[in-house]
């Protein structure tokens, strides 16, 4: 990207210290980089971000790391050493945003807690991400997305009744917390324009997933504690017809829960071998009636779908404007002309790996191009450049490198 295009990005001129590992924190840094910030990823010497050891591997590079750390500069510094800590203090004093996702207390032990850093840089927007947050009885506990998925009530509602819930194959807690952290950081940066002061943003994976329930919490609270959502398998009990169906040669989803769409859908089923009167059954023409007769409806729709190939059903439903989709495999997603037209895969030239293709972020903005072309850094790749920019001379840098305070792979 040329300098003018970079300047057009909304966060151009903002410096972010990305003191993070695994997924949630790195994702925040990646989003801020895509929006134009200069992002410096700080890793411990030796093994670096634990994400570097996570599959999927291409050669000795982790795809997990490459994806979440694209567009960043790499600094590897031992912050348990006083010289490393001094370097970090200088770096943070030059920054606008600090992002970390270590166990609460870990950064304070390193002299990198919010209170200490804000003393010399009161404008700093400091974002902590942890499993449970920095307050409350569980704040000291470590955790992963999976823990938050289980604790939040989400896991208990998915899967077939009576079976152990399935493992979601995306880390919902990390990704959603990251998305909310980006929103909060940008708002705090805007707020700083008025107040001149930064602030501490304290995000928890567990809080995020509790906040993401769009109906389960209210189902309990608004029913006065009488209704507790349970596993319902492949469809929604309070939104009929809305679910996953098995066709002759694959699976598809149908969203005919809005009254008009339902009427078109039921008429189509009747006209194509369904029971006589199904389309005209006025008891099913409103949501309450459909929800009350959900199991009867499923007894008609499931075999109707099962007798037909996916493509035939999609064609019929597209013809009557009822939202539907094949349940796609990843190879089908990447081959989808829609995904290609939206530029949802970004191609980068890696110095060791050659061309690599990774998922893009979903930002589409009329005034700028947020696709990141710069690959994730090697461990400590920009050590010398960053240390020099902070005023360390060549002899000091060489000494820190020799002593392992600055480390490059």
Ligand X SMILES: CC(C)(COP(=O)(O)OP(=O)(O)OC[C@H]1O[C@@H](n2cnc3c(N)ncnc32)[C@H](O)[C@@H]1OP(=O)(O)O)[C@@H](O)C(=O)NCCC(=O)NCCSC(=O)C(=O)O
Residue numbers at the binding site for ligand X (CB under 6 A)? 22-24, 42, 44, 77-80, 101-103, 106, 109-110, 129-131, 142-145, 171, 174
- Active-site position among 49, 174, 202, 207: 174
For the chain, helix (H) and strand (E) counts, in that order, are: 18, 13
Question: Is 249 designated active site?
Answer: no
Query: Minimum CB separation from ligand X for residue 104, in Å?
Result: 8
Please state, in angstroms and rounded to a whole number, the distance separating the CA atoms of residues 270 and 285: 15
Q: By C-beta, is 142 or 230 nearer to ligand X? A: 142
3-state secondary structure 6-36: HHCCCCCCCEEEEECCCCHHHHHHHHHHHCC
Query: Minimum CB separation from ligand X for residue 370, in Å?
Result: 24
Q: Are 87 and 94 in contact (CB under 8 A)?
A: no
Q: By C-beta, is 152 or 371 nearer to ligand X? A: 152
Q: By C-beta, is 22 or 245 nearer to ligand X? A: 22
Q: By C-beta, is 113 or 279 nearer to ligand X? A: 113
Q: By C-beta, is 80 or 342 nearer to ligand X? A: 80
Query: Minimum CB separation from ligand X for residue 257, in Å?
Result: 32
| C-alpha pair distances (Å), 140 with each of 130, 134, 200 | 9, 8, 18
| C-alpha pair distances (Å), 84 with each of 69, 110, 188 | 22, 10, 28
Query: Minimum CB separation from ligand X for residue 367, in Å?
Result: 32
Which long-range contacts link 316-320 to residues 24+ away (Cβ below 8 Å)?
Answer: 316/268, 316/272, 317/254, 317/265, 317/268, 320/264, 320/265, 320/268
How big is the chain by its Cα radius of gyration, in Å?
A: 26
Show Cβ contacts of residue 77 under 8 Å, excluding neighbours closer than 6 positions.
42, 45, 84, 87, 88, 383, 405, 406, 407
Query: Minimum CB separation from ligand X for residue 131, in Å?
Result: 4
Catalytic positions: 174
């Amino acid at each position: 990207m040329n300098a003018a295009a970079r300047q057009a990005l909304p966060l151009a001129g903002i410096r972010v210290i990305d003191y993070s590992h695994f997924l949630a924190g790195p994702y925040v840094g990646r989003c801020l980089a895509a929006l134009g910030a200069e992002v410096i990823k700080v890793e411990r010497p030796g093994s670096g971000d634990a994400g570097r050891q996570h599959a999927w591997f291409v050669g000795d590079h982790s795809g997990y790391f490459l994806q979440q750390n694209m567009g960043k500069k790499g600094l590897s510094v031992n912050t348990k050493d006083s010289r490393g800590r001094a370097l970090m203090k200088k770096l943070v004093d030059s920054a606008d945003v600090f992002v970390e996702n270590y166990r609460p207390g870990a950064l304070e032990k390193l002299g990198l807690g919010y209170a200490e850093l804000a003393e010399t840089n009161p404008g700093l927007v400091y974002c902590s991400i942890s499993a449970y947050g920095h307050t409350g009885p569980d704040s000291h506990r470590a955790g992963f997305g999976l823990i938050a998925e289980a604790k939040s009530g989400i896991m208990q509602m998915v899967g077939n009744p009576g079976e152990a819930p399935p493992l979601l194959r995306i880390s919902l807690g990390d990704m959603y917390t990251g998305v909310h952290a980006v929103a909060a950081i940008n708002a705090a940066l805007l707020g700083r324009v008025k107040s001149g002061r930064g602030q501490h943003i304290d995000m928890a994976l567990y809080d995020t997933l509790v906040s993401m329930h769009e109906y389960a919490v209210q189902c309990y609270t608004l029913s006065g504690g009488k209704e507790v959502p349970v596993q319902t398998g492949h469809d929604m009990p309070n939104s009929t017809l809305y679910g996953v169906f098995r066709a002759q040669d694959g699976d598809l989803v149908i969203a005919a829960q809005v009254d008009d769409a339902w009427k078109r859908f039921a008429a189509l089923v009747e006209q194509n071998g369904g029971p006589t009167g199904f389309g005209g059954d006025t008891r099913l023409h409103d949501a309450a009636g459909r929800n009350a007769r959900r199991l009867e409806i499923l007894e008609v729709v499931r075999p109707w779908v099962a007798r037909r190939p996916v493509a035939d059903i999609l064609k019929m439903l597209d013809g009557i404007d009822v939202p539907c989709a094949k349940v796609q495999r990843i190879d089908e997603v990447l081959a989808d002309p829609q995904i290609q037209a939206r530029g949802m895969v970004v191609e980068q030239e890696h110095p060791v790996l050659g061309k690599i293709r990774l998922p893009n972020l979903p930002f589409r903005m009329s005034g700028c191009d947020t696709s990141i072309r710069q690959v994730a850094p090697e461990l400590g790749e920009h050590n010398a450049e960053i240390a020099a920019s902070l005023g360390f001379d060549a002899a000091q840098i060489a000494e820190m490198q020799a002593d392992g305070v600055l480390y490059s792979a």
